[in-house]
Amino acid sequence: MRYSEYFIPTLKETPADAEVISHQLMLRAGMIRKLAAGIYNYLPLGLRSIRKVENIVREEMNRAGAIELLMPMVTPAELWQESGRWEKYGPELRRIKDRKEAEFCLGPTHEEVVTDIVRREVRSYRQMPLNLYQVQTKFRDEIRPRFGLMRGREFIMKDAYSFDVDSSAADISYDKMYQAYRRIFQRCGLNFRAVEADTGSIGGTASHEFMVLAESGEDAIVSCSACEYAANVEKAESPVKGGTEHAEPRPLEKVATPEKRTIEEVAEFLGVPKAAMVKTLVLSADGEPVVALLRGDHDLNEIKLQHLLGCDTLEMAGDEIVTKVTGAPVGFAGPVGLKVKIVADLAVQVLRNFVTGGNAKDLHLKNVNLDRDCHVGIFADIRNVVHGDPCPRCSGGTLEMWRGIEVGHVFKLGTRYSEALHATYLDADGKEQTVFMGCYGIGIGRTVAAAIEQNHDDNGIIFPLPIAPFHCIISALNMKEEAVKEASETIYQQLSEAGVEVLLDDRDERPGFKFKDADLIGIPLRIVVGSKNLADGKVELKERRSGEVSLLPIDEAVEKVKAAVAVAL
Ligand code: ATP
Ligand code: MG
């Protein structure tokens, strides 16, 4: 490709509305342009990277035995009504009507559609295992689209769905996908972790998320310092420690705490550690008030609590409800004397003589003991783990916290969808059985963005070679000079013939200008052709990542580039 004939609208300035570095660089490098909130044009350079990721994904899916098909983006409401998701899926599901007032939605995911195919076409156990995948545009009307391709409303996803005769066969399909995902993200050159994940609203029995480690990541994840355990904080657990259950219960005591509302304020005022206090949160679960008790230094994990309660919505109660439930203004809630359902975290179960709110203005209670003073309905793990907590899997390891970008997700669905949509088959004895499913997603655009988040410097993107839009850029310093033109064209031809993807910067621009663009768009290898070095038959080869420059005879430079590309792919 010749730069002068190509389309790379780079920007000098950092666009003001781009918060994270990958979004800034994708705009500046002319890879994407915003059309509307969360909806982007993929410009040629961006599209090339996207196709690279897609191809790696396709190769690994095919290698793992999955088969590509393509399902429509517009899908009929009836299927979603059958699965129950027409009602359950929130406003992210964009519902639309056609001219006959028939209802449809823009596919945010395709469990329903693919299950419909399978229930019609798969009759016998002999037709499984079956794994069908597509690379397709999805639409989710995200409440806060942001960070460019990282969280769009329209985005490209690879989604695969496995169908098996029983749970153990489904486990094998799941494991194949898990291994394929590891290979995919390794091949993309990413530093990632596979973590245990919450199974969420999609309904299923086990799942892992593939997280690219990055400070800007929206997810908090933990991993053990000693063993393989890694999990999303939404899911992560830790054995209870720091209990005081052997202490003698002391008499309950009222203490005045004028204007002291927060855990910090009360802890300081009374001179007790936060871990010797209990915070009392009033929430609304499907509109019903419920109280959660947590140790003062711990935070509520709303997802764990929501699963426990089995509710569709869970939110912090407003001031009015707090006052109605506790009889006190916000800041003085405590469990003693409450008439609503109380859920206490396991770390609270082992506390004695703790401090909590007194359910009256400017009042707290000391020496509260749950078994003596309150009626707790449920004890359960409802907190977020924190840095340094003990590992739940090994003895001696402690949990470390990371930020991550979720680029992929694998899921054991069990019979959640096959039961609802009656996807069955006949087993070897001719008996009707329900199909076991798994689903497996990768955000293609998000993967490119995550790669940039992990690979950049002050001058721009540093693409891992397998997903770079071009492998090599030839910066011809002055194409008007016959020798430079001739050498550049020869190198261009030799590399192209060898299968190297080359961008020939033949523009009539100053060298500094060309170098800036080359750095910005992040092409891994650069050959600089200038008349001075050419006089000795040499060119400069520069590696984008290390910045290493070597002055080489033309043939040698060409061979080096060919070899570097062959090794990386
Ligand atoms: P998130 O928690 O980030 O919203 P999700 O759990 O809803 O993601 P899945 O339904 O598992 O995501 O979708 C599979 C993959 O699709 C994700 O791992 C992610 O890479 C990608 N993806 C999901 N939502 C978006 C989005 N709004 N923009 C870009 N990619 C997305
Ligand atoms: Mg989502």
pLDDT digits (tens, 9 = 90+) for 103-122: 999 999 999 999 999 999 99
Ligand 1 atom at minimal distance to the Cα of residue 145:
27
Whole-number pLDDT of residue 455: 97
Give dist(CA 511, CA 516) in Å, integer: 9
Pocket test for ligand 1, best of 412, 446, 447, 448 (most atoms within 8 A of CB): 446
Give dist(CA 124, CA 122) in Å, integer: 6
Whole-number pLDDT of residue 202: 57
Q: Is the pLDDT of residue 550 over 90?
A: yes
Nearest protein CA to atom 30 of ligand 1, as residue: 443
Determine the distance separating the centroid of ligand 2 and the alpha carbon of 15, expressed in angstroms. 26
Give dist(CA 43, CA 33) in Å, integer: 7
Cβ-contact 525, 552 below 8 angstroms: no
Give dist(CA 150, CA 405) in Å, integer: 9
CB 406 near ligand 1, within 6 Å: yes
Q: Is the pLDDT of residue 203 over 70?
A: no
Determine the distance separating the centroid of ligand 2 and the alpha carbon of 209, expressed in angstroms. 12
Give dist(CA 508, CA 290) in Å, integer: 70
Q: What is the DSSP letter of 188?
A: T
Cβ-contact 293, 278 below 8 angstroms: yes
Section 390-417 average pLDDT: 96
Give dist(CA 272, CA 267) in Å, integer: 5
Q: Can you give the length of the chain in residues?
A: 569
% the chain with pLDDT above 70: 99
Determine the distance separating the centroid of ligand 2 and the alpha carbon of 404, expressed in angstroms. 14
Which are the contacts of 36, defined by CB distance < 8 A and separation ≥ 6? none
Give dist(CA 58, CA 68) in Å, integer: 8
Whole-number pLDDT of residue 364: 97
Q: Is the pLDDT of residue 243 over 90?
A: no
**What secondary structure does DSSP assign to 193-238, as a single string?**
EEEE---TTT--SEEEEEEEE-TT-SEEEEEESSSS-EEETTT---
Type of residue at 184 = I
Section 466-488 average pLDDT: 97
Cβ-contact 214, 403 below 8 angstroms: yes
Please give the sequence-ordered ranges of beta strands (E in DSSP) within 116-153, or none if there are none: 130-139
The string of pLDDT tens digits covering residues 11-62 is 999 999 899 999 999 999 999 999 999 999 999 999 999 999 999 999 999 9
The string of pLDDT tens digits covering residues 496-520 is 999 999 999 999 999 999 999 999 9
% the chain with pLDDT above 90: 96
Strand partners, 315: 284
- pLDDT tier at 241, thresholds 50, 70, 90: confident
Nearest protein CA to atom 1 of ligand 1, as residue: 406
Which are the contacts of 99, defined by CB distance < 8 A and separation ≥ 6? none
Ligand nearest, relative to CA of residue 157 = 1
Determine the distance separating the centroid of ligand 2 and the alpha carbon of 288, expressed in angstroms. 26
Give dist(CA 139, CA 381) in Å, integer: 35
Mean pLDDT of the chain: 96
- pLDDT tier at 205, thresholds 50, 70, 90: confident
CB 152 near ligand 1, within 6 Å: yes
Assess whether the previous peptide bond of 91 is cis (omega < 30° from 0).
Answer: no
The string of pLDDT tens digits covering residues 68-110 is 999 999 999 999 999 999 999 999 999 999 999 999 999 999 9
Of 173-187, 198-212, 549-563, minimum mean pLDDT range = 198-212
Q: Is the pLDDT of residue 201 over 80?
A: no
Ligand 1 atom at minimal distance to the Cα of residue 406:
18
Pocket test for ligand 1, best of 221, 406, 413, 448 (most atoms within 8 A of CB): 406
The string of pLDDT tens digits covering residues 255-282 is 999 999 999 999 999 999 999 999 999 9
Rounded (5°) CA angle 183-235-282 = 155
Quote the radius of gyration of the chain (alpha carbons, Å).
29
Phi, psi of 245 (to 5 degrees): -65, -10
Give dist(CA 553, CA 536) in Å, integer: 8
Pocket test for ligand 1, best of 20, 34, 157, 403 (most atoms within 8 A of CB): 157
If DSSP codes are grouped into helix, strand and coil, which group holds residue 266? helix
Give dist(CA 520, CA 536) in Å, integer: 30
Whole-number pLDDT of residue 312: 86
- pLDDT tier at 248, thresholds 50, 70, 90: very high
Strand partners, 403: 220
If DSSP codes are grouped into helix, strand and coil, which group holds residue 502? strand
Neighbour tally for 164: CB within 10 Å: 22
> Token digits for 135?
């690379």
